[in-house]
Structure 1
């Protein structure tokens, strides 16, 4: 049997920008001296006149993007998640979020899977930071198909959007022909009657594998992909909780403030059930190969399976 195709969602981001650039002359890409890493270099090669390297000055880049958006352009500002959401938080909040400008933030190299770059670059707090900004749409795609569709949807949406992309190549689990992306709408990937696993980003494919392990133990797990953390698909989350009565959230992000928090906030108000959060547990990461780190922090299929079994 042939191996599953794997693509890093940061590559998907770069490729999607080029495709959109062919259709829309008002699309501008800004980066902070990281075009090769964020893959905006692909766009730069295709449309050099519409690519702006702002240098290692992410805060300034946010201001430039804000200004361009008021002149009829649709700017995509790109950097590592740690810099786009972390270093430039004030400017994103005050210059983009507060006036609700039409700026798109493409944040790559998020989560533990940044690997050898270590704790200073492994941003496990960005979803929490961006969720807090009023009016900010927060998207975390799980594979190449979804990532490219998300970039297109972000362009079409009028308002600020934060998109999270990864460095590590991940399995392509969606069918490009049949897949439909809609901001704020989750996707049921696997039906199940015993428990619900709600995942986002990189751990979505790992959660599907964990569900297979659980099935061998007689546990029928529903798997839901929440690609939009904000606005959250509360209808789908509540429906799943009502059906199974037991929910697990899985994210390559701190369990504080991200998907787990969003799901718990929703269910606490609308349908209280037991929820267990699986993610980075109030700790910094460390330097090491991405796959080894995902295993150590129990964010691979085996780790997710073990944590669910222990909680049950």
Structure 2
């Protein structure tokens, strides 16, 4: 209490981060976005292909499948909070000639429904497309909802393709591509207001192909998902310091486009940095490192990924900075590695 008899002046209010932990957009303030690219792309595909059906485990709104449900209510199935039932039903529909898109959160598909996906879908090579929101660190709700190990889990499953799109354009083009693929696909889904990044580049999605988005002679970023967006931002920032960074976007994690990766790594003299929104265990970084060593390549190699840990809850900007996948942290770490060399 103040000894003057007056209440002390209140401290200036600090600006609070108001990012929703569950459904926060990963778009930066003022960044161009497109709403629900997955939902809209699936509707457009379903107009042309009567085999397309949609299923969800009580998460239509949070995987953008509600857009499909409004357009095609007779081809939409709400399975409730039962991922095992979701995947088994999708397998049954695939056996009857449909192309099911099953949506849930990535943690629930990877951890809760793994055996059902393995036995009912992957072993049978059925064309079920598993589109899962909240991949990696795209929610602040903590370990129960952060799918930081989903790629590692599905990379170990035979006969399943893994796609990690960067932005709205990637998703829009990936949807018909994975539907046409004769086999199961796991898609790491960005939902809601999704950044529009790749429109500025001469880019088109091809299943199984990595694409060079930007040239540079000092650093080669090999990235997937939202870390391609961050790698592009970091490359522009590094350019201000005279550092030229290339970006190779690898939206398909399995099968990996080893030929393109080797061709880019063979351009000597560049620091190779793999950047991913996933644990450093079992993801893109390990896949690239294995491919390099198996083919006799040993470049200067560094890895930007999430730690092998259960991550904190909180606002996404804070968490991305804390765990090293924000643009500023990528720039900082890349400069440090170049100075070491």
- Give the structure-2-normalised TM-score: 0.86
Superposition pairs for residues 158-307 of structure 1, below 5 Å? 158-167=182-191, 169-175=193-199, 179-244=203-268, 245-270=270-295, 271-307=297-333
Residues 171-208 of structure 1: CA distance to partner in whole angstroms, max 9, x if unpaired?
31222995421111111111011221011111111111
Which of structures 1 and 2 has the bigger CA Rg?
2
Identify the match of residue 126 of structure 1 among 150, 156, 160: 150
1:97 paired with 2:122, answer: yes
Paired residue total:
308
Q: For residues 168 and 14 of structure 1, do their structure 2 counterparts lie closer, same or farther at Cα, with a shift above 3 Å needed?
A: closer
Instruction: Give the equivalent residue in structure 1 for 2:52.
Output: 27
Alignment deviations for residues 41-93 of structure 1 (CA, whole Å, 9 cap, x no partner):
11111111101111111011111111111110001111000011221111111
Matching residue of 2:111:
86
Q: Give a deviation string over 1:200-238, Cα, whole Å, max 9, x none.
A: 111111111111222222221111111100111111111
Shift of 1:287: 1.4
Matched, 1:6 2:33: yes
- Distance in 1, matches of 2:58 and 2:194, equals 25
User: Is there any run of 5+ residues in structure 1 with no aligned partner, and where?
Assistant: none
TM-align CA RMSD: 1.8
Q: In 2, Cα distance between the equivalents of 1:27 and 1:280?
A: 35
Q: Higher mean Cα deviation, 243-252 or 191-200?
A: 243-252
Kindly state the Cα deviation for residue 284 of structure 1 after the two structures are TM-superposed: 1.6
2:306 and 2:286 mapped to 1: Cα distance? 13
Structure 1 residues 26 and 170: CA distance shift in structure 2, 3 A: closer
Structure 2: runs of 5 or more not aligned: 1-28
Q: Secondary structure, in 3 states, of the residue corresponding to 1:236?
A: helix
Q: Would the aligned equivalents of 2:219 and 2:272 in 1 still touch at CA under 8 Å?
A: yes
Q: Distance in 2 between matches of 1:177 and 1:20?
A: 24
| Misfit runs of 4+, over 4 Å | 167-170
Cα distance in 1 between the residues matched to 2:192 and 2:262:
32
- Within the alignment, does 1:71 sit opposite 2:93 as a pair? no
Q: TM-score by structure 1 length?
A: 0.94
**For residues 51 and 57 of structure 1, what CA distance do their matches in structure 2 show?**
16
Greater fraction of residues in helix = 1
Please give the alpha-carbon distance, in whole angstroms, between the structure 1 residues aligned to 2:38 and 2:121: 21
